[in-house]
Each structure stands twice: as structure tokens, then as C-alpha cells.
Amino acid sequence: MPKVKDIASAIEEFAPLSLQESYDNAGLQVGDPEMEATAALLCLDVTEDIMAEARERSCNMIISHHPLIFGGLKAVTGADATQRIVADAIRSGMAIFAAHTNLDCAWQGVSYEIARIIGMKHPKVLEPKPENPEAGLGVIGDIEGKPVLEFLRMVKDKFGVQALRYGGPASCLVVKRVAICGGSGASLIPQAIRQGADAILTGDVKYHDFTTYASRIVIADIGHFESELCTKRIFSRIIREKFPNFVTYFSETEKNPIKIM
């Protein structure tokens, strides 16, 4: 049976901590790295419901995309959900691990997984890191050409988007070249335009991003949550390749915190 540190090392080999952004806090957040891992629950965010689900499934490790401890803790008194989860995890022997912007920037990371879902051919990094051109944020590549509305309907269906926010130039009739960034990728819109993308898929696009750029590129805001659910598939694949007998579960209680009326 692998230890917590073995599972962590497998993920960090795929997505090295050196790739994370300076503001981030990826890695093992709670737990003993020497503890044997019985099973792991894979999720996007660590919540109190996720903790309960992990216990029900006899998991002693939670692997998430978004770090539970992001901005630092000054106290653990149970004053908020993060503090309660940390205290609960320590009491119950639950290890909590996150791979965030390092997974975003890794080769074959989050944006590559989105590219696979939409059938993109030969994706390449949209904004490579200077020290490593194979790593960086976003990808860009070609798909089978689709009329704009057909393309948007396909995206809405594949990612389970309840309300797709989009905008674009009237002159764009067919989408062939697409830029992608999981999570919040509006800052990459200018780069996508420079590289000839007909459309960009991302989340958290602001009103003024639409007013500034939608005359030059189709912008499809598929939602932060929807664009990053695929991280569970990446975690599962990494662990399965290294530890084929280790049990992982996709969370079934996880819900988008943003509701649509």
C-alpha cells in the first residue's frame, strides 16, 4: 500500500511544484506524509461535505485542485469552514493534498484535458514559461470547423454548462482555431488573438473583457467550476499508472457553489 508521500510524489512528478504561481499553495496541506494511504477521494474543492464523503468511502486522503489552505491560517478555532476542516482532518487522520496552478501549467495538464474533451488536434502551450517552453498556461490548437452557434452548443453540452456566457464578432462564421484556459483565463485573451484563435474557452470573464475583445474573438465563459472538473480525471490517470491497485473515487457530493435561476 502506498504512503501519502508516494501519491503526492506521483502527482508532483507530473506537475512539479516549481511550476506553481508565486501566490499559490500547492502540495500536502494536512497530514503525515509517512502514513499509509488507504484510498483517495478526488475533488475540485475541499468542503465539509467532501470530508464526510471521504470518511463514508473509507478514504484517508483527499486530493483536490483548489488548495484548502490558500492565504494562510492565523488560528484554528473553528471560526470558519477552513479552520473546521483542518481541525477535523487532524483529528481523524485525513491527509489533504492539492495540485493547483502547477497542474494548470503542466504539460498535459488542465487545459490539455479540456482540449481532449472538445477534440482539439495538436494543442500547444498558449503562454509558455520562459524557462520551460513545454509548460505554461493555456493551450491553442485546431478543431473540426463548426459554425459559431454549433460550436457553442457543443461546448455547453460537453461541460454541462447551465448558462453559457458568450460574445463574439459578427464576422466570425466558423470556429476552427481555439484557445483554452481552465479556471480564470481572461488575461490570456490578447495572447489568443495574437495567435489567430477564432474562439477562447475559459471562465470568470468580466464584462469589460467582453466589451474590449469580443469584436475580435469569440469568448465562451464556461464557468470556473465547469472548466476544472476534469482535474479529477487527470489525478485518477496519474495515480492509476503508478499504483494500479490503489482505489480512488470521484466525489459525488461536489456541487457548483454558483447557482443559476
| pLDDT score recorded for residue 71 | 84
Average confidence (pLDDT) over 171-182: 94
Q: For the segment 225-245, what is each residue's pLDDT rounded down to a tens digit?
A: 999 999 999 999 999 999 999
Sheet of 218-221: strand order equals 121-129, 132-147, 174-184, 199-203, 218-221, 165-167
Average confidence (pLDDT) over 145-156: 97
* Res. 43: pLDDT tops 90: yes
Global pTM?
0.96
Handedness of CA 167, 184, 206, 81 (dihedral sign): positive
Count Cα atoms within 13 angstroms, Cβ side, for 214: 16
Q: For the segment 188-201, what is each residue's pLDDT rounded down to a tens digit?
A: 999 999 999 999 99
The fraction of the chain above a pLDDT of 70, given in percent, is 100
- Contact partners, residue 244, CB within 8 Å, separation at least 6: none
User: Can you tell me the distance from the alpha carbon of 100 to that of 26, in angstroms, rounded to the nearest whole number?
Assistant: 6
* Res. 72: pLDDT tops 90: no
Q: 170 pLDDT band (50/70/90 cuts)?
A: confident
Give the chain's mean pLDDT. Answer: 97
Bridge pairing between strands 61-64 and 95-98 = parallel
Q: For the segment 74-97, what is each residue's pLDDT rounded down to a tens digit?
A: 899 999 999 999 999 999 999 999
Q: What is the amino acid identity at position 168? A: G
What kind and span of H or E run contains 138? strand 132-147
Handedness of CA 153, 159, 162, 166 (dihedral sign): negative
| pLDDT score recorded for residue 147 | 96
User: Can you tell me the distance from the alpha carbon of 200 to that of 172, in angstroms, rounded to the nearest whole number?
Assistant: 13
Residue 20 — φ and ψ, nearest 5°? -70, 155
Distance of CA 133 to the CA centre of its chain: 20
Q: Rounded to 10 degrees, what is the CA torsion of 227, 232, 233, 238?
A: 130
What kind and span of H or E run contains 248? strand 247-250
Average confidence (pLDDT) over 165-186: 95
